Structure 1
Amino acid sequence: MEKIVSPALQIEELRRSLREHEYRYYVLSSPTIGDLEYDALMKRLEELELQYPEWDSPDSPTHRVGSDKTEGFVSVQHERPMLSLGNTYNYDEVGDFYRRVADGLGGHPFEIVAELKFDGLSISLIYEDGALVRAVTRGDGITGDDVTANVRTIRSIPLRLRGENYPRLLEVRGEILLPFKEFERINSEREAAGEPPFANPRNAASGTIKQLDPRIVASRNLDAYFYYIYSDELLPTTHYDRLNTAREWGFKISDAVTLCSTREEVYAFIDHFDTERLNLPVATDGIVLKVNSLAQQEELGFTAKSPRWAISYKYQAERARTRLRYVSYQVGRTGAITPVANLDPVLISGTVVRRASLHNADFIAEKDLHEGDYVYVEKGGEIIPKIVGVDTDSRAIDGQRIVFTEVCPDCGSALVREQGEAAYYCPNAEGCPQQQKGRLEHYCGRKAADINIGPETIELLYSRDMIRTVADFYHLTEGQLLSLPGFKQRAATKLLDSIEASKARPYSAILFGLGIRFVGETVAKKLAGAHPSIDALTAATAEELIRTDEIGERIAASVLHFFSLPQNRQMIEQLRAVGIKLEGEATVAPTGDRLAGKTVVISGTFEHHSRDEYKAIVEANGGRMAGSVSSKTSFVLAGTDMGPSKREKAEKLGVQLMSEEEFLRLIEA
C-alpha cells in the first residue's frame, strides 16, 4: 500500500530540495539537476502553496520571484555602525599598516586574513532562528534603507540557513554585485529601448536594489559575496574560522580568502590578484586585509571612521586605448557644465566602458582633442572612467578640433565663465530643468532634509508640474501622489510622512539642503553655528561671514549672492511658513581636554544634538570615538532607543552608561 504524504510534508520536502539545488547552483556553481527538472519542482511547490495557503512561508523559494511591489524604503539604524576602511595604494603603506598592528599588539604574533575587495553595494542581513528577516543597505554607516523584499530575490543569498548550529540572532555583512555578464545584457536591453546605459556594475547593482518593484530586481540576476558575521552568541574566535562557518551555513564566501602569517605572504597575495582578479565574473577594486583574531581586533579598536585592525589596498587603474566618437554635455544642480566623452566600447577591469569624464573646457584644450581621436582611458579607483592621454600619431587628417559648447545643452542659455573658475555655468538657474531637478534631489538627501524620495519620483513630479522649488514638496497632496504611476496608498502616506518629518531637521541640515554654491555639509554647520538663524545669516555682511571659521571670500560672496536673489528669499519665506526649522542652532560646545584619554561609544537618539554633533564634541574635548563597546570603553553616551546588544555588553563589562544630560553637564563643567 502506497504511503500517503501530507501536503505540509510535501511542501517542506520540496522547499528543502529546492534550497539544496539553489545552493549548489548559485553558491557552489556545481548543479546536480537541469533547468527543466528544477522548474518542475518549483511549479509543483507553487501549486501546493496556492492550494494550501496556510502553509505559505516568507522564506519559501517561491518568494524569490518578487511578486509584490514595495512602497518606499524605511530607514533602519544599524545595530553596529558600518564603518568604511582606510585606503592604501602601495607596498610602503601596507607595510606601515603592518607595523601599526604589530606596535598596537605589543609585539605579540598575529595573522592577517587577505580577501578580495568586491565593488558593489554593501548590505547587512539579519537572521533570526535561521531565517532572513531584514536586509539593510549601508546608507551613511549609521542608518540604511530596509530592502528586504528586493534582497529576497537574490538566489545566492539563503532565505534559510543550512545546518542547525547557528545563533538565534545573526548579522552577516557583504556586497551585492551585478556580474559582468548580466551588466552587459542589461545595458544592451536598455540601449535597445532608448534608455541610457548604466555606467558600471556597481551603479547598476545600487540602482537595482533600490527599485520599488522586486520583480525588476529578480530579473537582473544580482549576486552577493559575504565577508563578516556578528552575533552576541558564541562564534569562532577568529575571522578566518567565522568565514568558513558562514560558508557552511550557506553563504557565498570568496575562495580567494587567504590566511597570511607574514608580511611577505600579504605581498604575494596582492601580486597574485593584480592580474588574476581580471578573470573573475564580478568587479573587484582591491584587497582587504584584516587581523584574524577577534580578541586582537578588539584590542586594536577603532578610530572615529574606521577599524584599526583592517585596511584596504587599491590597485592601480587599468588603461585601455579606444576611439573618441563625440562629446556630449551634462548640467549639474549648480549649473556647472561637465563634458563627457562618448567612446567606442572598450573593456577595462572587466567592465565595458562607453563614456568617460573630460572634466572641463581647459582639459579638452590641454589634450587638444579632435573628433575620432584614439584616447587612453583609465578607471579612477576602478570605478570612474577618465581620459588620461591622446594617441596623436593615429589622428585622422580631417578630424575636427573639439570646441567646448557655448550654450546650455538643456535650456539653450549662453554659458558664462567667472574669472578664476575652471567650469562654464548655465546662468538660467530658475529656468533650466536639469538644475531645478538637481537642486530638488540635493535638498532631499540624507544629510539635508532627509526626505525619502528617489530621482525617478522627483522626475515624475517635475514632469507633471507638481514641484519646481523645494518649498513645493510641502504642498504635495495625497491625491497628487496617487495619480502617479505605480504609487499606492502606503507609498503616498510614507512620502508625506517623510516630508512632514523633514520639518524637524536641524537648521544646518536645511541650510546645506538649499544648495548654496560652495556650501557643503561642514560649511553649513559652521555658518549655522556662527549665525544661529536664517535671518541673521541673510543680514550678515561679507566681513562678518569671513570672520566665521573656514569661510573665505569665495564662500562669502556665494552666500551673499544667494540671499540677494528675490526668488531665494521668497522660497525661504515659504519654508518658514510651513514650519521648517530655520533658527535655534547653537554652536556645538566649548573645546578643551575634559575627555582626554577617554574612549567613548555613542548609541541611540538624542534631544539636544545629533550623533554627529556629539561625536564632534567628544573629539573637540580630547576624547576618542569607538564604534563598539569593549573593556577599553570609558563610557557609553546612551540616548533613547540605545541598541540592546551595546547595553547588554556595557552592563556585562561594567562600562558606565551616561545620559545626555549627564554628558552635557560634564562638558560644561
Structure 2
Amino acid sequence: MTAEQAQARIKELTQQINHHNHLYYQEDRTEISDFDFDKLLEELVRLESEFPEYLEADSPSQRVGGTITKEFETALHGSRMLSLGNTYSDEELLAFDERVAKGLEHRNYEYFCEMKFDGVAISLVYENGKLIRAVTRGDGTKGDVVTENIRTIRNIPLHIKGDNIPDFFEVRGEIFLPRKEFDKINAEREAAGDALLANPRNAASGTVKMQDSSIVAKRRLNCYFYQLLGDEIGVDTHEEAIKLIEKWGFNVSQTYSKCDSIKEVLAYIEAWREKRFELPLDTDGVVLKVNNYDQREELGFTAKIPRWAIAYKYKAESAESRLLSITYQVGRTGAITPVANLSPVHLAGTTVKRASLHNANEIERLGLHEGDAVLVEKGGEIIPKITEVVEDSRLDGAKPIQYIDHCPECGTALERKEGEAKHFCPNTKSCPPQVLGKIEHFLHKRAMDIDSLGTERIRTLIDQGYIKDPADLYDLESKADELLGLEMSQDQYQKSDEGILYISLTKALFALTEGLALSAISKFLEQNTAFPLEEVLVRFQDFIRKANKKTAQNVGSIQRLIDSLGQAGFPKIEEFLPVPVVLYQLIGNYVDLEKIAKASLKENTIHRIMLKLNLPISGEIEDRIKKLKANTFQEGVISNMMSGIKSSKTQPFEKVLFGLGIRNVGENTAQILARHFKSLENLKVATTEQLIEVNGVGDTLVTSIFDYFADEENLRMIERLKSHGLNFEVIEDEKELQSNALDGMKILASGKLNNFKRDEIIDFVEANGGQYVKSVSKALSFIIEGEDMGPSKKEKAQKMGVKLISEEEFLKMLGKNTA
C-alpha cells in the first residue's frame, strides 16, 4: 500500500468509525455488529502504526486505552461542583419559585429543566481546544484525575474545532453505563462465573476509577453534558451555553426544555414521570435552574447550595404485592441477608419479584407474617424494598415470620454480636459462601492470578466437596478425570429457607415437555414475567397448544405439575419450582416424594440427588433428567483450569503471602513483610518487637499475624501448599544493571510519560542503579514531571524543595536520545 492509499484509507476508516460511534451514542442504534466495528478499528490502528505521519490527535484509535494508572492524582476544581437542594412535592417547588421571585423582586425569569441522571459527575477541562484534564466530583472541591480513562469514552471530544473556541473552558456532565451495556456485561460475567455488578451507577463509578484504561474502553461508557464554565464564553443564558456545547460536539440529552413559568415546569415534570423509564439510563428526578446568568448572580448561594437551582425528586413508586416466602442468603463474610420472594408487581418500568429485608430487625419492625400483603417500593429506581404491611389484608391464622437460627448453607448455629443488626455464620472454615470468598481472594490476579476459575466453577467445586481451602486447588491436578461432566449450579438453583432445593422454571418446563426448544420456552417466560406462577403455567398450556407439538402429552404433563404443586405445599419462589415435585413427576415410579425431598435437603444439584437416590433408570427418563441439569465441566475448561493452577506455582512469595488472606495483610503490606522477612518461616517466628520494627506494622497487624499462625489448620494448609511447590521465600533476582548512573538516587515519576509505561519507568530506574519511590518526600533526589502531573503532588514537591525535571532532561542524564 502506498502512502497516498494509506492516507485515503485512514480518512475513510475514520469517517466510518465516527459515523458508527455517532449512531451508537447519539441515536442509540447500530448498523454493524461489535465484531465488524472492532475490525474497522483494528485496521485503523494497524495503518496508523505503519504510517504514523497520518495519525491525527483526535483519531478514533486514540480511545482504545492501554495506559495503566496505579494511583490517581487529585486536582482542585476551578469552581466548586455544587450539590443541589431537593424537593419532593409540588408545594415545595412552588415555595422555591416564590423564593426566586422574592430574591429578584419580579417574575420576569425563565427556568431551564433537565432530567436528573443517576451517573457519575465529571469535569472536563479544555485548553486551546484540547482535552487536558478530566476530574471526578470528589468532595466538590477536589477530585481524582481520570483523564486517560475518560479519553476512551467515544462520544467525548478530545479536540474541539471551529470558530471562536475559547482558549480555556470547562464542561461538566454525567458519565453513565447504558442499561443495555450493563445487562450485556452482567450476562458475560454470569457466563464466566464472575460476580454480577450491582447496578449501572456503581458499575460506571467503578469503571471510571479502573487502573487499566483499555478495560475502561471496552465498557462503552456514555456521557451527557449539562454545564459550560469559563471566563470568556460569550453567552448570557444556560440555554445558549447548552446550544453552544451541542455545536462543539458534546453529547447533550435531548430531554431538556426551557420553561417560562413554574406551571410549565410542573407540566414538564409530569410529562417525564413515566416517559423517563424509556431512557437508556436511570433517572430519579428533574433539575431546574434559573436560565439567565445575571439573575443567578443576583440570587447567589446559601452556605451549601445555589438559590437559583433545585432538584425535584420523583417519589419512589409503590405497589401492593404478597409475600410468598423468604430466602436467606449467606454472604462471603458469613453475614445473613433475608430476601422476600413476592408475587410479581410492576414498578418503575420493571417487574419486581424480590425485595431485600436487610436483617431480623427489619422483619420485626415491619411485623411480617406469612403470606402478608405488602407495599413494595423501588427507592432510587434501583433496589426494591418492602415499606409496610397491609394489615387489613392479612390472611386468617397467618403466623409471624420466625428468623432462622441456623445457617442455611452449613447448618451452624447463627450468632449476632451485641450492637450489630446482622446475624452471622461463625463457621469460617467450611461454610460454602465463606470458603468461596477465601478461594476467590487466593485466585485473584494480585495474588495467585488463576483466571480460569470463575465464581460459578469455584462454587461448584466447593458445593460438591472438591475444595474447602486453597491447598485443595492443587489436588485437583490429580482429579481432572473426575471433573469431566461435573454440573455447575449457580444459575438454575435456589434453596428455600427450609433448605429444599429449587430449580429454574425454564429448565423444569424444558424437562417435563417434549419437542419444545429451550430458547422458545425462555422467550415465552420473558413475555409472561409479570404474571404469578399459577397463571404462567396455565398460559404455558395455551402456548403448547399453539406450538402443536405433542400437545396432549405436554398439556397433560403441565396439568400434573399444577396439581402436584397444589398438593405438595412447598413454599413459593417465583420463577423456580421445588426439585422434589419436578423429579417425582419423572421418577415417581421408583421412589416416593418424601425420599426425594430428604435427598434435596442435603444436596445442591440434580446430579448429586440422583447419585444419592441410586435408582436403576435409563432411556427416556435419563434423557429428561439430563435436560434438568446445568452446564457441566468440559475438557477445554478443565485443561485451562489445570494450566492456570500449574502456572500459579511460579508466583513470587509476596503474592502467595497476600493470597493466604491473613486479616489486615493487604497487597502492599504483603510486599513489605515479604521483603523484610524474606520467608514465611521467618515471619512465623518473628517476635512482637521484630514485627513492630517494620514500617507500617502496628499492634492490630501483629495480633492478626499471631492469630493466623496459632491456628493448626492454617499451618497444615501451608505445609500442603509447600508440598505442591509454591514459593514461601523471596527468590533474589539478580538484575543485570545497564549502568550506575542513578546510583544512590531516589526517584519518582508523576503524570503521563511519552517513553515509558508505569512499570517500565520503575524497571528502567532500577536497571540504572536508582531506587524508585512511590510517594513524595524530602528524601527524593528528583521527580520526573510528565504530562498532566497532579497539581496537589506538584505543590507538595515544591513546598518540600524537591527538584522537578522533564522526561527529556531525565533521558539526557543517561545519555539517551529523545528524538
> Do they fold alike, i.e. is TM over 0.5?
yes
Deviates more, 1:472-481 or 1:14-23: 472-481
In the alignment, which of 660, 663, 671 is matched to residue 468 of structure 1? Answer: 663
Higher helix proportion: 2
Alignment-derived partner of residue 288 in structure 2: 289
Alignment-derived partner of residue 635 in structure 1: none
| Residue identity in the other structure for 2:198 | A
Structure 1 segment 427-576 matched on structure 2, within 5 A: 464-465=659-660, 468-469=663-664, 476-477=671-672
1:289-325 CA-to-partner distances (Å, cap 9, x unmatched) read: 1010112212222223222211100001123547756
* Separation of aligned partners in 2, 1:283 and 1:217: 20
Alignment-derived partner of residue 167 in structure 2: 168
* Separation of aligned partners in 2, 1:373 and 1:380: 21
How far 1:244 sits from its partner (Å)?
1.0
Contact preservation (8 Å) 1:27, 1:251? no
How far 1:226 sits from its partner (Å)?
1.0
1:428-487 CA-to-partner distances (Å, cap 9, x unmatched) read: 8999999xx9xxxxxxxxxxxxxxxxxxxxxx9996246523899667439789x9xxxx
Alignment-derived partner of residue 148 in structure 1: 147
* Separation of aligned partners in 2, 1:177 and 1:129: 27
Alignment-derived partner of residue 637 in structure 1: none
* Matched residue SS, 1:109: coil
- The TM-score with structure 1 as length reference comes to 0.59
Could you say if the C-alpha distance between residues 32 and 405 of structure 1 is closer, same or farther in structure 2, counting changes exceeding 3 Å?
closer
How far 1:264 sits from its partner (Å)?
0.7
How far 1:7 sits from its partner (Å)?
5.5
Could you say if the C-alpha distance between residues 5 and 89 of structure 1 is closer, same or farther in structure 2, counting changes exceeding 3 Å?
same
Contact preservation (8 Å) 1:122, 1:173? yes
Q: How many pairs were matched up?
A: 470
Contact preservation (8 Å) 1:111, 1:293? yes
- The TM-score with structure 2 as length reference comes to 0.49
* Separation of aligned partners in 2, 1:405 and 1:92: 45
Structure 1 segment 294-443 matched on structure 2, within 5 A: 294-320=293-319, 321=321, 326-329=326-329, 339-341=338-340, 348-350=347-349, 356-367=355-366, 369=368, 376-389=375-388, 402-406=401-405, 414-416=414-416, 418=418, 423-424=421-422
* Matched residue SS, 2:135: strand
1:394-446 CA-to-partner distances (Å, cap 9, x unmatched) read: 9999999753243678996742364xx68256598999999xx9xxxxxxxxx
Deviates more, 1:354-363 or 1:206-215: 354-363
Contact preservation (8 Å) 1:328, 1:342? no
1:239-285 CA-to-partner distances (Å, cap 9, x unmatched) read: 01111111111111121211111111111111111111122222111
Runs (5+) with no aligned partner, structure 2: 438-654, 679-693, 705-793, 797-819
Matched, 1:105 2:300: no
How far 1:181 sits from its partner (Å)?
1.9
1:365-386 CA-to-partner distances (Å, cap 9, x unmatched) read: 4545578877543122334421
Alignment-derived partner of residue 525 in structure 1: none
1:543-575 CA-to-partner distances (Å, cap 9, x unmatched) read: xxxxxxxxxxxxxxxxxxxxxxx969979xxxx
How far 1:46 sits from its partner (Å)?
1.9
* Separation of aligned partners in 1, 2:61 and 2:398: 57
* Matched residue SS, 1:211: coil
| Residue identity in the other structure for 1:66 | G
Alignment-derived partner of residue 762 in structure 2: none
| Residue identity in the other structure for 2:176 | L
How far 1:210 sits from its partner (Å)?
2.4
Runs (5+) with no aligned partner, structure 1: 438-459, 484-498, 504-513, 515-565, 572-639, 643-669
Could you say if the C-alpha distance between residues 130 and 14 of structure 1 is closer, same or farther in structure 2, counting changes exceeding 3 Å?
farther
| Residue identity in the other structure for 2:421 | A
* Matched residue SS, 1:243: helix
| Residue identity in the other structure for 1:423 | A
Alignment-derived partner of residue 202 in structure 2: 203
Contact preservation (8 Å) 2:407, 2:425? no
* Separation of aligned partners in 2, 1:99 and 1:217: 45
Structure 1 segment 83-122 matched on structure 2, within 5 A: 83-107=82-106, 109-122=108-121
* Separation of aligned partners in 2, 1:383 and 1:131: 37
* Separation of aligned partners in 2, 1:461 and 1:383: 38
Could you say if the C-alpha distance between residues 358 and 30 of structure 1 is closer, same or farther in structure 2, counting changes exceeding 3 Å?
closer
* Separation of aligned partners in 1, 2:135 and 2:88: 30
Matched, 1:131 2:130: yes
Residue identity (%): 46
* Separation of aligned partners in 2, 1:471 and 1:21: 43
Structure 1 segment 597-612 matched on structure 2, within 5 A: none
Alignment-derived partner of residue 262 in structure 1: 261
| Residue identity in the other structure for 1:22 | N
Contact preservation (8 Å) 1:327, 1:340? yes
Could you say if the C-alpha distance between residues 567 and 66 of structure 1 is closer, same or farther in structure 2, counting changes exceeding 3 Å?
closer
Alignment-derived partner of residue 608 in structure 1: none
Contact preservation (8 Å) 2:114, 2:257? yes
Alignment-derived partner of residue 58 in structure 2: 59
Task: Give RMSD over aligned pairs.
Answer: 4.7
